[in-house]
Structure 1
Amino acid sequence: MAARKRRRSVARKRREQRLKVSLIGGAGILALLVVFWQMVWPYLVSGLVVGGAAVGGWWLWRTNRLVKGRDHQWRQEEAVKAGHRSLTEVDAMLGGEFEDFVVDLCRRNGCTEVRRVGGTHDDGADVLGCLPDGRSMVIQCKRYSPKSRVSSPEVRNLLGAQVHFKTDVAIFVTTTYFTGPAEQTAVQNGMIAVHRDHLGLWNNGASILSFSQVNGSGQGDRRHRARWKETYE
């Protein structure tokens, strides 16, 4: 008990000594401030102003970053929702609606300067823009019945549009499939042929650039669809 009391007494004395030193130090600093106030106050005010500006700037930067992050997340979620339509819904679209749908998919993939140009005098182009890698593109959109087929002359028309608009890449997007000769013409001329199976994958999140890897490898066949799923997953 005696030893414990001595330890408590020593600890209390140490606390009292630290408190005295703190009070003396504080009083000394206060005295110096009073004596040298004319010299010190500009620095104190400047420090407070700079510190306040730094804190305010950090708060504004953090708030702006949070707002932008939430806005980007919202836009991304809305873009995915807009893109996730069933092919049955796509089949029911009008021609102009299908072109707008393709424009939305392109923008979701990060394509830039994407605009719809389809119309009576479209010179064989429905959509113009730039791919995510910077190459210019021209797109022809054909919303056909799944039982129909895109023919070779239609593919050649798009090649003519590519020459007319001087783009790097031509892309043919359809809700159906290409005839064998049409697909061969597209592949031989470096065109990306996006048939119905590709469109379904694009709608579900695949990138437009990824189709160049399987371009001309078949269409409308379960074996090919399984291969494409392995490629994109």
Structure 2
Amino acid sequence: MARRRGWRRRRNRRSAVAGVALLVAVLVVFWSRTWPFVLAAAALGGLAALVWWGWRTHREIRRRDEVFRAEQRVLDANRTLEEVDKLHWRDFERMVAALLREGGCTEVEWVGQGGDRGRDVTGVLPDGRSMVVQCKLFATHRSVVSGDMQRLLGARTNFTADVAIFVTNTRFTTDAEKYAKDNEIVAIGRNLLASWLKGATLESLLEIGSGGQGDRRHLTEWNKAYGKTSRRRRQKRAS
């Protein structure tokens, strides 16, 4: 059976080659009569390819414009942390994409679908470095742990990105902060996110983002707003 299939493939291949050779021979012999038709067919083929390319390009431009407008609408409607906390995780990722684009990044794309392999947003920073971004929208009493960052580290390696950025609406544990520093992950926690929403430059966030929480003043504000609530919830769960 295998021999028969192999013989058929060789026969079909020889038939195809013979057909092409015959067509070329006919064109050469009758070139004076067939050249107008050959040129017309080539012109029509080129025109069809050009129309197809234009249609595909136009469709891609429209898709990107729709995505951009959707992301910008989410960002414009959610400029405070209280509003951000109520977002769906998809809208949170779209908002981060809009913030990055607003900060001068190019080729920004929201990837956050099934099989994103640890990258929710990709793009190129204003200085030309490629980036992968992971976003986590948590309840405000929760904290990001080091395990939440591991997929991002893998994504930076898999996609050979220059910079890995982790953005969340909550804060990082001490272990997560250390993990981010040891692995050169830019960690943008709740307080830095608040500054970003209010107009802080992306460049400034990249400079201080290794700490995740911001400076001591930011951490003090966090403890005033959420420290007691978090302790009460932990005590309630323990009881």
Which protein is bigger by CA-based radius of gyration?
1
Q: How does 1:53-202 map to 2 (within 5 A)?
A: 82=76, 85-202=79-196
Contiguous gaps of at least 5 residues in structure 1 = 1-74, 228-233
Alpha-carbon contact 1:84-1:204 (below 8 Å) kept: no
With over 3 angstroms needed to count, the CA separation of the structure-2 counterparts of 1:220 and 1:137, relative to structure 1, is closer
Shift of 1:221: 7.4
Alpha-carbon contact 2:119-2:133 (below 8 Å) kept: yes
Q: SS in structure 1 opposite 2:108?
A: strand
Tell me how far apart the structure 2 counterparts of residues 132 and 226 of structure 1 sit (CA, whole Å).
Answer: 32
Shift of 1:134: 0.8
Report the TM-score, using the length of structure 1 for normalisation. 0.59
Alpha-carbon contact 2:136-2:169 (below 8 Å) kept: yes
Tell me how far apart the structure 2 counterparts of residues 94 and 129 of structure 1 sit (CA, whole Å).
Answer: 22
- Within the candidate set 207, 210, 215, 2:204 is matched to 210
Instruction: Name whichever of 157-166 and 212-221 sits farther off.
Output: 212-221
> CA RMSD for the aligned pairs?
2.6
Instruction: Name whichever of 167-176 and 156-165 sits farther off.
Output: 156-165
Structure 1 consecutive aligned stretches of length 4 or more whose deviation exceeds 4 Å: none
Q: SS in structure 1 opposite 2:153?
A: helix
Q: SS in structure 1 opposite 2:199?
A: coil
Alpha-carbon contact 2:188-2:212 (below 8 Å) kept: no
Alpha-carbon contact 1:151-1:178 (below 8 Å) kept: yes
With over 3 angstroms needed to count, the CA separation of the structure-2 counterparts of 1:173 and 1:139, relative to structure 1, is same
Q: SS in structure 2 opposite 1:193?
A: strand
Alpha-carbon contact 1:177-1:220 (below 8 Å) kept: no
Alpha-carbon contact 2:208-2:214 (below 8 Å) kept: no
Shift of 1:131: 0.7
Tell me how far apart the structure 1 counterparts of residues 198 and 214 of structure 2 sit (CA, whole Å).
Answer: 17
Alpha-carbon contact 1:175-1:196 (below 8 Å) kept: yes
Q: SS in structure 2 opposite 1:154?
A: helix
Report the TM-score, using the length of structure 2 for normalisation. 0.58
Aligned residue in 1 for 2:34: none
Shift of 1:220: 7.6
Q: SS in structure 2 opposite 1:124?
A: coil
Tell me how far apart the structure 1 counterparts of residues 220 and 193 of structure 2 sit (CA, whole Å).
Answer: 15
Alpha-carbon contact 2:104-2:126 (below 8 Å) kept: yes
Q: Could you give the per-residue CA deviations for residues 165-201 of structure 1, whole angstroms, max 9, x where no partner exists?
A: 1100000000001111111111121110000001001
With over 3 angstroms needed to count, the CA separation of the structure-2 counterparts of 1:220 and 1:167, relative to structure 1, is closer
With over 3 angstroms needed to count, the CA separation of the structure-2 counterparts of 1:155 and 1:148, relative to structure 1, is same
Tell me how far apart the structure 2 counterparts of residues 126 and 137 of structure 1 sit (CA, whole Å).
Answer: 11
1:115 corresponds to which letter in structure 2? Answer: E
Alpha-carbon contact 1:150-1:179 (below 8 Å) kept: yes
Shift of 1:203: 0.6
Q: SS in structure 2 opposite 1:172?
A: strand
Tell me how far apart the structure 2 counterparts of residues 118 and 164 of structure 1 sit (CA, whole Å).
Answer: 16
Contiguous gaps of at least 5 residues in structure 2 = 1-68, 222-239
Q: Could you give the per-residue CA deviations for residues 59-80 of structure 1, whole angstroms, max 9, x where no partner exists?
A: xxxxxxxxxxxxxxxx9xx89x
